[in-house]
Amino acid sequence: MIVLRKAIADMAGYVPGFQPADADQWIKLNTNENPYPPSPKVAEAIRAELGEDGASLRQYPDAGSRRARQIAAGLYGFDADWLIMANGSDELLNNLIRAFADEGDEVAFVHPSYSYYGTLIDIQGAKVKTFALDAHHKLVDFPARYRGKIFFLTCPNAPLGFTFSLEEIEDLAQRCDGMLVVDEAYTDFSDQTAMPLVKKYDNVVVTRTLSKSYALAGMRLGLAVARPEVVAALDKIRDHYHLDRLALVAAEAALLDQDYLKKRVAQICETRDWFAAELEKIGFSVIPSQGNFVFASPGDGDGERVYELLKSHKILVRHFSDPLLKHGLRISIGTRGEMEATLKVLQQG
């Protein structure tokens, strides 16, 4: 019960940082949201689903998310029984722990990476194990055989932005007795995916979110690709109607409009690479990123000072109190205009 209370308290403070009352007057670069709207086809699909009087909302949605599953599976080159939709990828992470780890079992992840893994592990009463990174972003002390029930690997890593190579991920799959869950929340901004390994290894699961590249954070949509028996296990423990009608049609429309996705992703990546280069010109150290953000450190190693400077100019970025991260900042990539405004403040400070 004490562990559960702590986990709930952690969740209550999960959305980090300062949240201004006049948020519309700020540049918000602290939550890795997409600065552009989703595909216009999403709004069209939602309006069509609602109709003139919204009568469709009186009916339950498709509990199996069958059409969305088929579209996503076809997009990634799988049969539909290899894919499950979810209420955000967080639902999948939670249900994977519920499906594969009992109370007291060990579940591991990389530190630093997505800190919410630890909260979800605590909630289920499992035991947290973390593996560190060296200066070259390689895992430290990962055993020849890892016997924990699940190992979560965020790739690209958040908050640092680097990727593990496919060779490294495949090596981990071979060394894990339990499930290797590759969290690809940011992979549309990178040049690789671990999805081919799902067909090669029965212990590999790849999770995705539509919050970042598809600009649907407000709809809470995610998916996972895994062996059919893993998908079937996740299907058994999920909430019955876990995705509403509007979320489902939004997912379908967004996934079908790959031209729009590629255009926006290219736009964000171009801005990211330009911004990183400009930061380096003014003395920041920047980790090469394959996400929609950069992790940058000022020359004096005082990330909090720069956070407060930007905040004083109504620009929000993410500063971490973690000793491994407090020297720098995670800065989401906004529009070109937003990044130019941010750079101007940094040049002055």
- Each residue of 112-161: pLDDT tens digit? 999 999 999 999 999 999 999 999 999 999 999 999 999 999 999 999 99
Please give the structure tokens belonging to residue 315: 């620009």
The more confident residue out of 1 and 89 is 89
**CA atoms of 347 and 349, how far apart (whole Å):** 6
Cα separation, 64 vs 43, in Å, equals 23
Mean pLDDT calculated for residue range 1-25: 53
For residue 266, the tally of other CB atoms under 10 A from its CB is 11
Residue 10, pLDDT above cutoff 50: no
pLDDT band at residue 269, thresholds of 50, 70 and 90? Answer: very high
pLDDT number for residue 341: 98
Please tell me the distance from the alpha carbon of residue 84 to that of residue 243, in angstroms, as a whole number.
11
**Residue 7 pLDDT grade (very low, low, confident, very high; cuts 50, 70, 90):** very low
Average pLDDT, the chain: 94
Tokens of 230: 């893993």
pLDDT of 17 higher than 70: no
Cα distances (angstroms) measured from residue 172 to each of 17, 150, 250, 342: 34, 12, 35, 39
Give mean pLDDT, residues 306-331: 97
Mean per-residue pLDDT, 326-341: 98
Which of 23 and 322 is assigned the larger pLDDT?
A: 322
Q: At what angle do helices 40-50 and 245-256 cross, to 10 degrees?
A: 140
Distance CA(123)–CA(22), nearest Å, equals: 34
Q: Is the pLDDT of residue 62 over 50?
A: yes
Using alpha carbons only, how large is the chain's radius of gyration in Å? Answer: 20
Report the Cα 204 to chain-centroid distance in Å: 17
| Single pTM value for the model | 0.94
- Please name the residue that has the structure tokens 């339950």: 60
Instruction: State mean pLDDT over 178-199.
Output: 98
pLDDT band with cut points at 50, 70 and 90 for residue 18: low
